[in-house]
A and B are shown apart, each in its own frame.
Chain A
Amino acid sequence: MPQVTLTVNGASHTVEVEGRTLLVELLREKLRLTGTHVGCDTSQCGACVVHVNGDSVKSCTLLALQADGAEITTIEGLAKPDGTLHPMQEAFREYHALQCGFCTPGMVMSAIDLVQKHPQGLSEKEIREGLEGNLCRCTGYHNIVKAIAAAQDVMHGRRAELAPAAE
């Protein structure tokens, strides 16, 4: 069987895979990193978004072998070892940016890529457009957009702490 070597959340792994093994299958089934979800499995919903060499991609639409040699970050790789949440995770918590939570890992990974690629800051409209590849079937977009708007100020160092959500 072919082998793939990749770095996931800072740790190197060499794993035997089939030609058809998807990156998301490698993450969930071989590495037991089940924070990355499979929603639609048709490249639409974005529940499976991870970062590959710093870009957000749908891990259900990438062969594990295509990720050979890549640096992968999943939702499990965001918090600090002491449990301190990434500002985007903290913002999702503070702004109650989820209902059932199924889409959340993908939303957070897409949101971080979106914010990192726009150091000049994003308007509400740009945030909504930037989430085109992520579907929330609880239709909880409103708080998700607010969370991302708040998190970007912390991520870009414009605020030391997250702006609290309104009561």
Chain B
Amino acid sequence: MYDFAYHKPTTVADAVKILSADPEARPISGGQTLLPALKHRLNKPTAVVDLSGIAELKGIRREGDRLVIGALAKHGEVANSPEVKAAIPALAQMASTIGDTQVRNRGTIGGSVSNNDPAADYPAAVLGLDATVVTDKRRIAADDFFQGMFTTALEPGELLVAIEFPIPEKAGYAKMRNPASRYVMAGVFVARTKSGTRVVVNGAGPGVFRQAEMETALAANWSADAVAGVKQSPDGLNGDIHGSAEYRAHLVTVMAKRAVANAG
């Protein structure tokens, strides 16, 4: 790793001030993605801005028909939170399967969603539940937030503050893990929400995406059988040594069936 300066501000305003004064400075939350990347010298920040001391980014709370999760909520906290388990059990269940215990003790929802790894879990729930990403400047609908591989609507220096999840009627998630890396090869998140039925695919393509045909099928008939007949096209999906695009496309239908079964 190249050396860098270290800052630990205690307010969002101070963090944003440091980040906007130095375009080469990077925020760090759990560091479970950033530190491995820095070890590979994939980027060379002049400074890291540790967000962990900022109270405004913490906490999980129910606000009416929404669940608000602060950016610093660790995967382990989300997995074990009574509020999350009661309101959106599929989200708690998803969090409990991210990485391993030690990763879940450090990694945060804000870091994962800002990073938008195509094989990450949380983006599927954020898009599948029609959540709103709250930053220090604005509110961004999930449909506008994810913009493909490692790319989001966040501007340089903009901080993810919280995610607001509307509480769904039903939601479920299923994924096939790569047996070595344990990252998702293809996963599907399904939800019946006030804004409609949503089906989101992660891991299989260059970023999370909605599966429109499956949404239509499930809206008409909420059952595993309804999605069983919908085939995902392999066009544009990832193909690599771990699995071809055709294999991933096949998995999408299988995972969709399981996700509906998990949602109940």
Contact surface of A with B, Cβ cutoff 8 Å: 2, 18-20, 22, 41-43, 46, 49, 55-58, 61-63, 65-66, 68, 110, 113-114, 130, 132-134
Contacts and interface: CB of A to CB of B under 8 A. Distances in A.
Nearest to A106: B102
Contact of B36 (A43, A133, A134): A43
12 contacts: A56-B102, A57-B105, A58-B102, A61-B32, A61-B106, A62-B35, A66-B31, A66-B50, A68-B8, A132-B100, A133-B100, A133-B101
A113 B76 CA distance: 13
Contacts of A43: 32, 35-36, 103
A62 B100 contact: no
Contacts of A133: 99-103
Contact of A62 (B6, B31, B38, B76): B31
B31 A61 contact: yes
Contacts of B36: 42-43, 61
Contact of B39 (A41, A46, A134): A41
A16 to B, nearest CB: 13
B5 A56 contact: no
Contacts of B4: 19-20
Contacts of A55: 76, 105
Nearest to B38: A20
A153 B80 CA distance: 24
A139 to B, nearest CB: 15
Contacts, number: 72
B182 A63 contact: no
B1 interface: yes
Contacts of A49: 102
A45 to B, nearest CB: 11
B8 to A, nearest CB: 8
Given A19-B48, A42-B39, A66-B52, A57 B3 contact: no
A20 B38 CA distance: 9
B3 A19 contact: yes
A57 B39 contact: no
Contacts of B50: 63, 65-66
Contacts of B8: 65, 68
A132 B32 contact: no
Nearest to A59: B102
A52 to B, nearest CB: 8
A5 to B, nearest CB: 13
A61 B35 contact: yes
Contacts of A65: 6, 8, 50
A65 B28 CA distance: 12
A62 B100 CA distance: 15
Contact of B182 (A20, A61, A132, A134): A132
Given A58-B102, A114-B101, A20 B32 contact: no
A56 B5 CA distance: 26
